[in-house]
């Protein structure tokens, strides 16, 4: 027998709802993955890399030409110079990068400020390292950070603050003022910033992504996580990267070398070339904007009410005109009886919350969205 390190954790809500969707032949607008094909050119580059013999271990820190391409991209987008040799590590996905960053810095008894609703991996990753998550709820319904409350919750035990923009599950986006408030709070403290930016290019309605990478002073005390899967519609690749200061990345790699050690070589070789095609990521925002607008126009026929989304794959809808049952129960009802699977936003909180809202993923083929809307109109 063992003593569980995560006694309160079960199967993730994403797995639960996806299994339920399959059982009831429901259209899955829950889990955040596209149902359309990724770039044929990128697939061909992976095939070419494999055929050329790039099938063995690559460097622990990541294929160097890929890290160089990432550094070029960072300078182009954010006007910040990153050393590809000492500041970038390629990881098996963004979630791994976040977990490794937390494992790098946390000691038992440390505290980490987390904003809820929070992506479901954050708090377990904190707790498995013997630290405590200090949850602060985003304001509803605009899902903004109350920085006054953050200041109150900072203690001498605060080791890190986790931010996520564009935000999963709400689609909210941090502003320049948010970053200014964050800078003021961490100034003259040892607090580390853990920034989840896997949706960096999925920005809507003319908003800007306020990356930590824009701010060298903040990057010195930050780990910033990214995902190729989210950018190139290949979530199953589980490939991402972390960027930090040289000192912090040195410590990050100590953990990384004894865990994954290195990542899939042929995909890294392919991405090193594909990443130089700026249009491949600059077109993502407009592409997702069309998806969101198409979905929102169709959903206007239903009794569900949209909350604003400014980024990511997701939009939250309120069902307050239809029911007052819990978000989990209503999500199960939609899956079983209506044939559309969603994610209850309450699953992203530690405490019981019931704002009567669900998360929908609109990163799907038009025909998938049409079929879902046709069923939801009947509510």
Please give the average per-residue pLDDT across 35-50, as a whole number: 96
Query: For the CA atoms of 273, 279, 285, 290, what is the dihedral angle to 10 degrees?
Result: -120
Architecture of the domain whose range is 13-31+283-376 = Alpha-Beta Complex (3.90)
User: Coil, strand or helix: which one is 228?
Assistant: helix
Answer yes or no: pTM beyond 0.85.
Answer: yes
Same CATH topology for 13-31+283-376 and 53-277? no
pLDDT reading at 268 higher than 80: yes
Share of the chain above pLDDT 90, in %: 93
**Spatial contact of 223 and 192, defined as CB atoms under 8 Å apart:** yes
- Angle between helical axes of 40-51 and 265-274 (0-180°, round to 10): 130
Domain 53-277 top-level CATH class = alpha beta
Q: Where are the domains of the chain?
A: 13-31+283-376, 53-277
- Tell me the residue ranges of DSSP E strands in 21-126: 27-28, 88-91, 111-116
The residue that leads in pLDDT, 193 or 22, is 193
CB atoms within 10 A of CB 246: 11
User: What is the tens place of the pLDDT at every residue in 201-252?
Assistant: 999 999 999 999 999 999 999 999 999 999 999 999 999 999 999 999 999 9
User: Could you tell me which residues come within 8 angstroms of residue 167 by beta carbon, excluding any fewer than 6 positions away?
Assistant: 143, 173, 174, 311, 312
Strand partners, 243: 88, 224
């Amino acid at each position: 027998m063992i003593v569980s390190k995560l006694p309160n954790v079960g199967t993730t809500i994403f797995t639960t709802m996806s299994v339920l969707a399959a059982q009831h032949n429901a259209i899955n607008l829950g889990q955040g993955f596209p149902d359309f094909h990724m770039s044929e050119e990128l697939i061909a580059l992976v095939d070419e890399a494999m055929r050329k013999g790039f099938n063995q271990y690559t460097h622990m820190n990541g294929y160097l030409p890929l890290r160089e391409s990432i550094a070029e991209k960072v300078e182009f987008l954010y006007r910040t110079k990153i050393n590809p040799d000492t500041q970038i590590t390629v990881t098996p996905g963004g979630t791994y990068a976040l977990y490794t960053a937390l494992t790098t810095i946390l000691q038992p008894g440390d505290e980490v400020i987390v904003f809820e609703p929070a992506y479901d991996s954050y708090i377990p990753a904190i707790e498995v390292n013997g630290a405590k998550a200090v949850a602060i709820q985003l304001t509803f319904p605009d899902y903004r950070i109350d920085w006054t409350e953050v200041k109150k919750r900072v203690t001498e035990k605060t080791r890190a603050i986790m931010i996520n923009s564009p935000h999963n599950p709400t689609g909210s986006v941090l502003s320049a003022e948010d970053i200014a408030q964050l800078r003021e709070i961490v100034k003259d403290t040892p607090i580390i910033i853990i920034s989840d930016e896997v949706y960096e290019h999925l920005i809507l309605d003319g908003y800007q992504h306020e990356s930590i990478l824009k701010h060298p002073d903040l990057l010195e005390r930050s780990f910033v996580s990214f995902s190729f899967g989210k950018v190139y519609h290949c979530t199953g690749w589980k490939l991402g990267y972390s960027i930090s200061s040289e000192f912090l990345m040195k410590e990050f790699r100590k953990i990384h070398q004894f865990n994954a050690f290195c990542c899939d070589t042929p995909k890294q070789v392919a991405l090193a070339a594909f990443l130089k095609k700026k249009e491949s990521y600059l077109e993502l925002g407009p592409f997702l904007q069309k998806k969101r607008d198409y979905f929102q126009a169709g959903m206007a026929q239903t009794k569900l009410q949209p909350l604003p989304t400014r980024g990511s794959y997701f939009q939250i809808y309120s069902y307050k005109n239809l029911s007052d049952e819990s978000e989990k129960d209503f999500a199960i009802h939609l899956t079983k009886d209506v044939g559309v699977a969603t994610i209850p936003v309450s699953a992203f909180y530690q405490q019981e919350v019931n704002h009567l809202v669900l998360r929908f993923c609109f990163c799907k083929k038009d025909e998938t969205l049409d079929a879902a809307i046709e069923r939801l109109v009947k509510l």
